[in-house]
Amino acid sequence: MLFALGSAVALLALTACGGSDSDSGDDPLSSGGGGNEVVVGSANFPENVLLGEIYAQALEAKDVKVKRQLNIGAREVIYSQIEKGTLTVLPEYNGALLAYVDKTSTATTKDEVDAALKAKLPSGLELLDPAAAEDKDSVAVTKETASKYNLKTLDDLKPVAKNMVMGGPPEFKTRVQGIVGLKDKYGVEFKSFRSLDVAGPISVSALKKGDVDAANLFTTDPAVPENGFIALEDPKGLFSAQNVTPLVYSKGVNDAAKGALNGVSAKLDTTTLADLVKQVVSDKKDPDVVAKAWLSSAGLS
- CB contact at 8 A, 18 and 34: yes
Model confidence, pTM = 0.79
Are the folds of 7-134+244-297 and 137-231 the same? yes
Amino acid identity of residue 216, one-letter, is: N
Query: Which pLDDT score, from 0 to 100, does residue 8 have?
Result: 36
pLDDT at 188 over 60: yes
The domain 137-231 belongs to what CATH superfamily? Osmoprotection protein (prox); domain 2 (3.40.190.120)
Sorted by where each begins, the domain ranges of the chain are 7-134+244-297, 137-231
The domain 7-134+244-297 belongs to what CATH superfamily? Periplasmic binding protein-like II (3.40.190.10)
What's the rounded Cα separation, in Å, for the pair 75 and 54? 19
pLDDT at 60 over 80: yes
Query: Which pLDDT score, from 0 to 100, does residue 178 have?
Result: 95
Torsions phi, psi for 283 (to 5 deg): -90, -5
What's the rounded Cα separation, in Å, for the pair 49 and 224? 20
What's the rounded Cα separation, in Å, for the pair 117 and 109? 12
pLDDT tens for each residue of 168-185: 999 999 998 999 999 999
DSSP-derived pairing of the beta strands 230-231 and 89-93: unpaired
